[in-house]
Each structure stands twice: as C-alpha cells, then as structure tokens.
Amino acid sequence: MVPVPHRTLLSALAVCLCAACTPTSRVLLLPQEGVKSAVTVTSSTASAELSTPYAVAEIGRKGELEQALSSEAEVRERYPVLLALQPPPPQRYTLNFQPGTSDLTPESMSRLDTILAAARARSGGEIVIVGHTDRQGAADANDALSLRRANAIRDVLVSRGFKTELIDPVGRGEREPVVPTEDDVPEPRNRRAELIVR
C-alpha cells in the first residue's frame, strides 16, 4: 500500500465536503420588464417565495432550503451563456384612434408598417393588441369599443400578410387610462391601443 501524504487527504476531504454542500437545485428570479413576478420554491422540507429580482433559493441534498440575494453583475458573470439565450425584451407601441370609432388616426396608421417589420424580425413574432377607450360613454359600450379597436388593428395587420394566429386582440375598456379623468371627459391619449411585439 502506497502511503498518501497527509496534505492530499485533507484536500480530498475538503473537496468531498464541498460537494456535499453544493445545492442540488438553484432557483434565481430574474427581473421582467414592466412586470412584477414571484415564484414559490418548495423542497421536501421547506418552502420559500422569491419576489425580489435576483433573489435566490438553493435546495440542498436533504431538502434544506436557503435563500440569498444575488445581483445583476453576479448573474451576468455566472450565467453568460444562459442570458444569451433569453429572447429580446418585448417592443411596445401605442396607436391612437378617432373619437368614438375604431378608426386609427392617420399618424397611427402610418406606423403599422414599422410594427409589422419589428414583428417579422423576431423569432416568435407575436403581437398582443390591447384596446382602450377614454371615459366618454357607458362602461359596457367602452368595453365593446376597446375590443373592436383591437380587432380593427388585427384585421389591418392580417390584410398586410401577417398571420392571424400570431395576433392576440383584447379590450380593456376605460379601466386603464394613461391620463385619469372624470367620467364623460374626452381624452385623446386614452383612445388608444397598445401593441406588444414579443
């Protein structure tokens, strides 16, 4: 039997101990532009909610769960390959309408080709269209108008060759104004559709 130097045994022991301390799973919450997010991490013995960007939960071999906080710099250094795989952030556009109609203003109509080019340049190329109204008129009528506005833009995009299945039109009525107003106050900036290209 060949004697093993004492120093080598200590080094091997340190490596084994570190391997035993290495978490089996690591969950890291990345920030999302314009969206507050959270995730619950559960192991066989514990549970934790991550709700702060760059929060970390590590699960050990026996189910123990430890929380920590990382940083953008640390994440960029540690996971450059994974970050490179992320899709680019969504592009957002706002188009405006003529009062009480689903007709785009001429300026907004002229922006549709730019939006189409942006969607076609992305690998997913989906477009979410969220229609809105100002507070003129009844709330249920505004709900219907906001959806008509989203569908009108969808129809124009489809007529220009964009696939229907890549467009998701929704209406929000008067509930999410850019400029809060009293009831029945006309506000052109609230008569809009937000297009999210992702």
pLDDT band at 21 (very low <50, low <70, confident <90, very high): low
* pLDDT (mean) for 5-13: 37
Kindly tell me if the per-residue pLDDT of 8 is higher than 70: no
Annotate the chain with DSSP letters as a single string: -PPPPHHHHHHHHHHHHHHHHS-SEEEE---BTTB---EEEE-SS-EEEE-STTEEEEE-TTS-EEEEE--HHHHHHH-HHHHHTSPPPPEEEEEEB-TTSSPBPHHHHTTHHHHHHHHHTSSS--EEEEE---S-S-HHHHHHHHHHHHHHHHHHHHHTT--GGGEEEEE-TTSS-SS---TT---GGGSEEEEEE-
Delimit the domains of the chain by residue range: 24-84, 91-197
Give pLDDT, residue 20: 52
Of 78-92, 119-133, 149-163, the poorest mean pLDDT is in 78-92
Kindly tell me if the per-residue pLDDT of 175 is higher than 70: yes
Give pLDDT, residue 84: 87
Q: Is-above-0.75 flag for pTM? A: no
pLDDT band at 4 (very low <50, low <70, confident <90, very high): very low
Of 28-32, 83-87, 91-95, 177-181, the poorest mean pLDDT is in 83-87
Tokens of 190: 């609230």
The answer for 74, left when phi > 0, alpha when psi is -120 to 50, beta otherwise, is alpha
Q: CATH fold of 91-197, please?
A: 60s Ribosomal Protein L30; Chain: A; (3.30.1330)
